[in-house]
Amino acid sequence: MRTLLLLVADRNEARLAYYRSSLADDFCTVVPVTTTAQCLTMLKEFTPDAMVLEAEFPGAERVLDVLAHQPTGTHVGVLVHSSSGHCPTPAALARFLRSEMSGRPLPSEELGPRIRQLLGGCQKPVSPEPGNANVESGPEPEPALPAGRRVLQQALWN
């Protein structure tokens, strides 16, 4: 199973660092952004598998609009969290096949399972143990990633 790309748009840098470090060994690669410009730039580079968006994030509805207009954007799992009760218009979230609103930022131990549930039960990838790999019926190869996603993953791991 391939690693999922999670775009997290939040003005709170401490929360972004917490999400990134605590989810680093989980099922996804966290791409944190703190400004609308950063977020829109990332959305030009790739379509994430899931997005966590602070409802109070400047330009939140614009970000959702740009995401929804990408070729596979409506299939992205979107989780919007708010500590003030603010919510994007229902129409902004209704365009996505999988979306959810939370009245508070989620701790990472809740965020990972919530995203997996939102995406339909994706599980953490399992690495084969040394010596147990069966050459004849090894794991299925990961699907090729689009060029933008490959470049982004390389940049994140370097």
Higher pLDDT residue, 84 or 17? 17
Average pLDDT, the chain: 74
Contact 49, 119 (CB under 8 A): yes
* Percent residues over pLDDT 70 in the chain: 71
Q: Using alpha carbons only, how large is the chain's radius of gyration in Å?
A: 16
Contact 34, 15 (CB under 8 A): no
d(C-alpha 5, C-alpha 28), whole Å: 6
d(C-alpha 17, C-alpha 35), whole Å: 15
pLDDT at 65: 92
Q: Which of 42, 49, 52, 28 is nearest to 152 (CA)?
A: 42
Give every strand in the sheet of 28-33, ordered side by side: 28-33, 4-9, 50-54, 77-81, 98-102
Q: Could you state, in order of their start, the residue ranges of all structural domains in the chain?
A: 4-126
pLDDT at 62: 92
Contacting residues for 105 by C-beta, under 8 A, at least 6 apart: 10, 12, 15, 54, 81, 83
- For the stretch 59-96, pLDDT in tens is 988 999 999 998 888 889 899 888 777 776 677 788 88
Q: According to CATH, what is the number of the domain 4-126?
A: 3.40.50.2300
